[in-house]
Structures are given as C-alpha cells and as structure tokens.
Structure 1
C-alpha cells in the first residue's frame, strides 16, 4: 500500500505576503515572486505553496490561477501560529555591503526581534537601502522556514540611539577593550535587551565613553580574540539565544 503523501509537501515553495491571511482568502502574487512561482518552480493549478504573513503564522495555499504576470493562490488552512522570539534587539554598526548583508541574513535566521543599524565615526558606510535589506531578511526567513521577520529600522547615529534609548532595555555593549564575559552576563539577565556591536575599525574613545555613560549600558567581552564586525554581531547573538534557551 503506497504511503500517504505528506501534507503539505516538504518541497513546497515558501513566500511571505502582506497580512492578514485567513482560510479561504485569495492572494494575488505579482512581480519577482510571481516569476519565481510560475517560471522557476513551474507552479500549476492545485500545487501547494506555503504562505507566511509575519502576523497570523504559516498557511498552506493552493495555486488557483497562473497568469502571465501573476499567480493567484487560495489559502487552505493554517499550519502553525507565528513563532515566539526572545525580546532581543541587535544594534550592529554598518559594515561593508557584503558583510552587512551577512549580518542581516544570519540575524534573521537566529531569531532576533529587531535590527537597528547604527552609524558610528569609523563606519565605512553611512547609508542602507532598506528595501534591499528587507528583501534579504525575507529571503533568509523563507529559506529557513521562519514564520517571523525581524523588525528592520533605518540607520541612526550613535548620539540619536543613546538619546532615545529606553531605560528598561539593557544595552549589552560588545567592547573590544573588555567587559563581563558575554555568556555570564546574558545568563544573569531577564527582560528586554539589545546587543550593540561596532564597525570594522571599532569604536573611538569618545564613543566608547558615551556608551558606557548610558545607564542601560553593560559592557561585555566576546572572548580573548579580536572579532570582525560581522563575527562579533552574530557570535554575540548566538550566545544570547543559547543562554535564553531558544536553542
């Protein structure tokens, strides 16, 4: 007797779409996503597509129509709710484009709730294409079966960040000059938090002093080795997730 096919198929393509999704709703897919479904995946009527809306969770849908420039899907059923993620922000200084792309991608995979890019004096970049950055986070979430996207904020200066920092959110500052070991600091903390990491050239002395003067700042060390900006951000995030029991 043949085995019953898995529902939904593990090979079904995944897409994020605007909320809200609901059983019976019809969703029109256009642009690059429609091209992907129709031309790359060669979707046909009846095929299954997994949809997420970053609000209600993950849904199975079936292809209803395949047009020249769009694909219409009919939502069948919800598979799981939007996943819970720890209340952790990542505040990485801007890096060279390819390195910051890596931070965006892997921070999404690891489950940070919010990414707040930062501009410091030694940053080699001071701008970020938010539309492109958002596309990177969405693609990473789709590839890793995430049901939640990180909130992505526009870059801000260090002064603006510190001036508006919420007092109830701990700001773990990855200081290359050292601090409390990150694993111990994270394990001892409960409540909202953020991790602040620097650019390729590190923070200058004035910036370091301003950060340490903030009442929410908690300097941490990331081990005996000097880490590149992208490595520091992702290593710290991984340690946090382990300490939070998210792994």
Structure 2
C-alpha cells in the first residue's frame, strides 16, 4: 500500500490532500485511482489509512478511514562526517531504513565534501521512510563542527586506533530508556587530536574490527549493530 508523509494542513477534518511531488508520484508513478487505499503519516507519530475519492488536475484527495500500524524509530543520533559525492546521500537513506532518529552531519579536519544539501537530504530521508514503513521522519540537522557536537547519555565513536569491539561494549550497556550518539569520521578517519577531544567529552572509542571500512560502510555497520542490540533486548519500538 502506498505511503505518504504529509504536512498537518494536508490531513484535516477526516480528509487528506496530495499535492506537488506527492500528487505526481501517486498518479504518474504509482498510477493510483479513485477508491485506492493509501497510508498517510504526519512524521510526528500519527498514521492513518485513507481512500482516494477525488483526482484533480493539480491535487488528489480522499477520506481518512482509520488508524494505520507502522514501525517506530530508535533513540539513536548518527553523527557522520560529511562525505564526497553521493556517499552522504547513501548514509541518509540507509540509516533512515535502519531506524535512526536523528542525523547530525559534522565537519572534521579531513572532510572533503560538496557542502550542505539539507533540502536534498530531507527528501531522501522522506522517501526512505515511506519505503520502509516508518512512523517518524528522522530529523536531519545542519552540519556543525566536531568541537560543537553535543553528546548524548551514551556516546560512541568509531576509532581506527584502538577501542573495544562495538558488540562487546553494547553487551555491557543498559540501552533501555537511554539515547545513544554514534559518531563516524570522514574518509581517512579522525585525527589524533579529534579522538582525544571526543574522549575528553566522554565519548567511548569503539572498534568495528580489523578491516578498514569506508566511512559510509562504517555508518551502516554501526546502525546495524545497534538495531540488533535493541531487537535482542526486545526494546525496539513497534
């Protein structure tokens, strides 16, 4: 069933409205017709079933028919260094699919990127969230320098120069009711001074194994391990 994240003004008085790109996607790509059922989400935790009953030239609308079940998110912020080309787009897409709550781009000494693309990143996250049946849209924040990064109750950063293996660290932590920050560096990793800065702020250095992973691969590996840990504790939100 097709899913659409809509703004609050497009879900009101027992009706919903598809406009702009959502309208084009519904009619031109999915070829939806009157009486077809859809799922509508407001990105803040509410989801509804709906049925199309009007197809216009610039918008479509329908009636809400009841609540819809959907998957939640994980209490995880992924802070990833900006990457070149479409690599950061890929990080946004895959971490959204894996349940990240917030994505914080960071600027580090070894960053090589094409700059901030906040509107593009939000669009990628929205499309990924619709595809994987998420209930919440992840928050995509503007880039900040590493020194300005705010840590969470549990903060971990990927280190190429030591650190306990991430699965071992996670097995020692009580994750329930805590927020987690996972920090991943750029191509080439963190500089020694950046690693020292993170440790001084209370972050725990962790290892993903002996292989040197690409930055985008490391981001997905961290998210996958955290998802597994939450599933093992049966604390993944429904």
Q: How many residues align?
A: 230
For the Cα contact (< 8 Å) 1:197–1:233, is it kept in 2? yes
| Aligned residue in 2 for 1:36 | 25
Residues 173-182 or 125-134, more deviating: 125-134
SS in 2 for 1:137: helix
How big is the shift at 1:73?
Answer: 2.3
1:116 equivalent in structure 2: 104
Give how far 1:156 is off.
0.4
Distance of 1:56 and 1:235 partners within structure 2: 26
Residue 161 of structure 2, aligned match among 170, 177, 194: 177
Partner of 1:6: none
TM-score between both structures, scaled by the size of structure 1: 0.86
Return the offset for 1:126.
6.3
User: Equivalent residues in 2 for 1:168-247 (5 A)?
Assistant: 169-190=153-174, 191-214=178-201, 216-245=202-231, 246=236
Instruction: Tell me how large the CA RMSD over aligned residues is.
Output: 2.0
User: For structure 1, which runs of at least 5 residues remain unmatched after alignment?
Assistant: 1-11
**Post-superposition, which runs of at least 4 consecutive aligned residues in structure 1 deviate over 4 A?**
20-24
What is the CA-CA distance between 1:24 and the residue it aligns to? 5.4
Please name the residue that 1:152 is paired with: 140
Q: Mark the CA change 1:128 to 1:33 in structure 2 (over 3 Å): closer, same or farther.
A: same
1:86 aligned residue (74, 80, 100): 74
Secondary structure, counterpart of 1:171 in structure 2: strand
* Structure 1 match to 2:7: 18
Alpha-carbon distance between aligned partners in 1 of 2:196 and 2:114, rounded to the nearest angstrom: 21
Q: Secondary structure in 2 aligned to 1:236?
A: helix
Rg comparison, structure with higher value: 1
Rounded to whole Å, the distance in 2 between the matches of 1:126 and 1:22 is 36
Question: Are the counterparts in 2 of residues 187 and 244 from structure 1 also a CA contact under 8 Å?
Answer: no
Report the CA distance between 1:21 and its aligned residue: 8.2
TM-score scaled by length of structure 2: 0.89
